[in-house]
Amino acid sequence: MNVLLIGNGGREHAIAWKLAQSKNLSKLYIAPGNPGTAQSGENIPIGATEIDKLVDFARENKIALAIVGPEDPLAAGAVDAFEAVGIKAFGPSADAAQLEADKAFAKHLMRSSAISNAEGQVFERFADAKAYIASRDEAVVIKAAGLAKGKGVFVCDEPSDGILAAEKIMCDRIFGAAGDKIVVEDRLLGEEASILAFVDGRNIYVMESSQDHKAIGDGDTGPNTGGMGAYSPAPVITDAMMDKITREILVPTVDGMNRNDTPYKGVLYAGVMITAGGPRVLEFNVRFGDPETQPILMRLKSDLLEVMLAVCEGKLDDVTLKWDPRPAVCVVMAAGGYPGEYEKGKIITGISEAEKLEDVVVFHAGTAVKDEKLVTNGGRVLGVTAMGRTIADAKAKAYEAADKIKFDGAYYRRDIADKAIKRTI
């Protein structure tokens, strides 16, 4: 069958790479894709949020399944648009995508479904937010309610810093309309994990656990990014903890979405903090995580296309997923300056040397081809991903591979997976 995958990040390269292994795939198109996805299918020059053009393309090219990778087209109704013309689409409807696109919606759903999360309040006026934050004497977390590319959250030790963050979001409008509302939350302490599950409206199939590294600097220091590296599985998620998260978070979320008349289908991603009092939700995403997808899909042995079709057909109960037991680690190579200002167009070398290492795949994110050379074209440039016998082996191999890749200003964290390694020794 013909498949159209939408997006151009590292996540989409990983999805395309995995789909290309499916025996049921005839032709894979990626819109707009990147030089990495071009190795697994054909890139087409349509932007991820040009929904009308995507639908026209899908009709003209006999697309049987459209897969929407990023949150923006999901929130803009891409899945609804494909389904309206009878094309199966993987991902939630625009209404259901509010679970990520509107943190106030997510807070409300969690409250009405008794799902454990941080105490918090939603504000639409800066003066009200300021008064509330000023009344607090502990650390606060300030979140733009809308979509902000993973950068809309400020964890502030002091309430006075929280007021400054609220001002930047609501008055300076650094995230535009995404900051019309903010959520002010208590800070949770613990270790984070990403729990991704396939959901078909009714059935839930949890994938292997993973952990992202959101902060730019080693030791989780500095501002948050879209994610600087990830590994799977996350040892902090024991089997008992996964059961608890499924029972106390995933099941009530899917039930709550049904009660809310926004039934959920696609990948449900719960970002959780494992606190001393148990798992608590930090955020929901309505799609695969980036970069978590890279190590997760590297470990998936089953046919991704089959699972995605089962999700669209409400037949997830027919599916069994098989996983490679070996851990995988993804190190994100970023442009110098990211998540602030950075330059583009730096020549990238060494990818083929890196991929000569066994069980290493270099997923492209912000890359482009210019004058027949591969160059940087975004903040997160590559996701160097390796599987190993142990998490320490996988880490060593991912860094051995990353060290072979060069571009001007390349930056990557040196401590990806250290938390997992500490737990396993």
**Beta strand 2-7 pairing with 63-68:** parallel
**Residue whose entry in the numeric block shows the structure tokens 């020549």:** 347
- With CB under 6 A as the contact rule, which of the stretches 187-195, 197-205, 292-300, 337-345 interacts with ligand AMP? 187-195
Q: Does 12 bind ligand GLY (CB under 6 A)?
A: no
Taking the complex as a whole, how short is the minimal distance between the CB of residue 414 and ligand GLY, in angstroms?
Answer: 19
Q: Which does 192 bind (CB under 5 to 8 A by kind): ligand GLY, ligand AMP, none?
A: ligand AMP
Q: Among the candidate windows 20-28, 184-192, 286-294, 330-338, which touches ligand GLY by CB under 6 A?
A: 286-294
Rounded least distance, CB 91 to ligand GLY, Å: 14
The interface region with ligand GLY, picked from 46-54, 120-128, 287-295, 301-309 by CB under 6 A, is 287-295
Q: Which of 10, 73, 150, 279 binds ligand GLY (CB under 6 A)?
A: 150
**Least distance CB 183 / ligand AMP (angstroms):** 8
Partner whose binding site includes residue 285, from ligand AMP, ligand GLY, none (CB under 5 to 8 Å by kind): ligand GLY
Size of the site for ligand GLY (CB under 6 A): 7
Contacting ligand AMP within 118-177 (CB under 6 A): 118, 141, 143, 153, 155
188 interacts with ligand AMP by CB under 6 A: yes
The reply on whether position 383 binds ligand GLY by CB under 6 A is no
CB of 251 closer than 8 Å to CB of 264: no
Q: Which does 290 bind (CB under 5 to 8 A by kind): ligand AMP, ligand GLY, none?
A: ligand GLY
Residue 263 sits in the site that holds ligand GLY (CB under 6 A) = no
Taking every pair of Cα atoms in the chain, the longest distance, rounded to a whole number of angstroms, is 60
Distance in Å, CB of 256 to ligand AMP, minimum: 18
Instruction: Assess 102 for contact with ligand AMP (CB under 6 A).
Output: no
> Of 144, 74, 77, 140, which is closest to residue 104 (Cα–Cα)?
144
36 binds ligand GLY, rule: CB under 6 A: no
Between residues 152 and 159, which has the closer beta carbon with respect to ligand GLY? 152
Residues found near ligand AMP in the complex (CB under 6 A): 118, 141, 143, 153, 155, 185, 187-188, 192, 214, 224, 271, 282-283
Residues found near ligand GLY in the complex (CB under 6 A): 150, 212, 227, 285, 289-290, 292
